[in-house]
Amino acid sequence: MMAAGRPLRHALWHRIPVPRSPTLHRRPFGSQSQSSPSTFYRTAGYTVLFALSAGLFTAYYLDARSAIHRYVFTPVLRYAFDAETGHKLAVKVLRSGLAPRDPVKDDESLRSQVFGQEIINPVGLAAGFDKDGEAIDGLFNLGFSWVEIGSVTPKPQPGNPKPRVFHLVADSALINRYGFPSQGATAVIPRLRGRIPAFRDADAHTTAALRRGSVLAINLGKNKSSPVESSEDFVTGVKTFGPYADVLVVNVSSPNTPGLRGLQNRELLEGLLADVTKARDELEPSPITSRRPRLVLKIAPDLQESQIIEVADVIRNSTIDGVIVSNTTITRPSSLIDPNRSEMGGLSGKPLKPYSLQALKTLRTHLPSSIPLIGCGGISSGADALEYARAGASLVQVYTSFGYDGVGTCRRIKDELISILRAEGKTWRGVVDEAVQTLSRKEPEPQQPNPVEPGEATIGKLIEEAEELKGLLDRLAERTE
């Protein structure tokens, strides 16, 4: 009976619905609508908070002065990647248009003047960072008044084998043996042309930089495969890039291209400068600036004093417009302590400063005030920049300190300069003008003939003739004896 009843009970059990617990019942529609306002406001609050945080961080990130760039992003980039990879990533960020900017208008005390053009501030970026002209406007946006791209060679070349650039963190220095890696002129020219439509404001077209008070310089390099003593690559560079540059830099001082520094010898330098100035003078005025580019020579810091004097003599007898002092050094000061100090290549950064500064001082005393000098080497502060100004440099350039301190380097140096100049009651231009006038070579004054009283010339002539006649009579008397 029990056994027979089991299937029935089992079937009835499954057919009869079992009441659910009240806690498992679906909530009525009304209870859902009561909780949704609080959920909505909470979600909205989180969204607004996130948006505000993102906006504030974006504003903070886009300000080149933000400490996060110097103390977080730049060190992370340096330690997470090898030196060359970090360098390339930095160029890509600046090229992207998403890089930070200097938001501050330059103070009037920073104004300078070179080549008859007013410059908004004296801090420029040296060649070597943007080798192929990929991030020109990103660099100008960081506050540099002078952006120098290159070195650019006529033909593409890979440069020296890797690894070829090394941080000397303990010495705040860098050693590179890049050897002019370049995409070549055909890759760079479209980038220069491509900038022009973005700056169609005719009022800005006073410089090839397409920014008032700024300078775009192109550093001309030489292909490794070219004959050592030939000037052809530089002449080609002048003809190719002349229409797109305010300044063309003739780089004969890189230590990483065999034989290049030999072009600083008197005879070869005379021929080179004659060739490049002739090529420049034959150019049509630039459609951008209505002028021909200025030509600037970049020299090494390792020249002996006698060699610098020779270089100055050649420059004075040419129509070159200015000089950058200096490139990297092959000297290794005993103060270096970083393990990478033994690497081959050119040394830049703080240890370079004494060599560059001394070379600039020597050159300044052997050139007239009409030829401006641009100081480059070991500049990482406003005080460093001012030291170059007091030695007679019209502008300065940074490179290694930019790599170590990041995108705020230019703004920081300018702020330090402003502080020092205000404390002294001076301006950059005033400091430079005083130094240049005091230290530059003084051209000898043409000698004026002494005024002669009427009759003096006649008396002098008579005395001279009388002495000649006396000498003739004496010789005649000797013969008769």
Which residues 6+ apart lie within 8 Å of 236 measured at CB?
Answer: 154, 185
What's the pLDDT score for residue 369?
Answer: 97
* Distance between CA atoms of residues 276 and 319, nearest Å: 10
Contact 356, 324 (CB under 8 A): no
The average pLDDT across 289-305 equals 97
Looking at the whole model, is its pTM more than 0.75? yes
Residue 25 has pLDDT above 50, yes or no: no
The average pLDDT across 146-175 equals 98
CA angle 256, 348, 134 (to 5 degrees): 75
Q: What are the backbone angles phi and psi of residue 246, rounded to the nearest 5°?
A: -80, -35
The average pLDDT across 203-229 equals 91
* Distance between CA atoms of residues 442 and 432, nearest Å: 17
Residue 465 has pLDDT above 80, yes or no: no
* Distance between CA atoms of residues 313 and 332, nearest Å: 29
* Distance between CA atoms of residues 87 and 74, nearest Å: 11
* Distance between CA atoms of residues 327 and 348, nearest Å: 8
* Bond before 163 cis per omega within 30 degrees: yes
DSSP tally for the chain: helices H, then strands E: 16, 13
Surface-to-core class of residue 313, CB atoms within 10 Å of its CB (0-12 exposed, 13-18 middle, 19+ buried)? middle
Closest CA to 381 of 355, 417, 354: 417
- Locus of tokens 């700056």: 199
What's the pLDDT score for residue 337?
Answer: 98
* Least confident interval from 38-42, 259-263, 288-292, 358-362: 38-42
Query: With the CA atoms of 105, 106, 109 and 114 taken in that order, what torsion angle do they form, in degrees rounded to the nearest 10?
Result: -140
What's the pLDDT score for residue 31?
Answer: 47
Local confidence band at 237 (pLDDT 50, 70, 90 cut-offs): very high
The average pLDDT across 398-407 equals 97
Q: What is the mean pLDDT of the chain?
A: 88
- Locus of tokens 């490179």: 399
Write down how long the chain is.
481
Give percent of the chain above pLDDT 90. Answer: 72
The average pLDDT across 293-303 equals 98
Residue 174 has pLDDT above 60, yes or no: yes
Which residues 6+ apart lie within 8 Å of 456 measured at CB?
Answer: none
Residue 268 CB neighbour total at 10 angstroms = 18
Local confidence band at 11 (pLDDT 50, 70, 90 cut-offs): very low
- Residues 98-156: tens digit of each pLDDT: 889 999 999 999 999 999 999 999 999 999 999 999 999 999 999 999 999 999 999 99
Local confidence band at 13 (pLDDT 50, 70, 90 cut-offs): very low
The average pLDDT across 208-232 equals 96
Residue 462 has pLDDT above 90, yes or no: no
Contact 326, 252 (CB under 8 A): no
Q: What are the structural domains of the chain?
A: 103-439 (3.20.20.70)
Give percent of the chain above pLDDT 70. Answer: 81
Residue 472 has pLDDT above 70, yes or no: no
Which residues 6+ apart lie within 8 Å of 324 measured at CB?
Answer: 126, 249, 296, 297, 298, 299, 373, 374, 376, 397
Residue 404 has pLDDT above 80, yes or no: yes
* H helices present in 376-408, as ranges: 382-390, 400-405
Task: Give me 228's structure tokens.
Answer: 């050592």
Residue 87 has pLDDT above 50, yes or no: yes
Helix (H, G, I), strand (E, B) or coil at 1: coil
* Least confident interval from 8-17, 138-147, 262-271, 463-472: 8-17
Answer with the residue of higher pLDDT: 236 or 442: 236
Q: What is the largest CA-CA distance in the chain?
A: 187
* Distance between CA atoms of residues 282 and 276, nearest Å: 10
What's the pLDDT score for residue 179?
Answer: 97
The catalytic site residues sit at 254
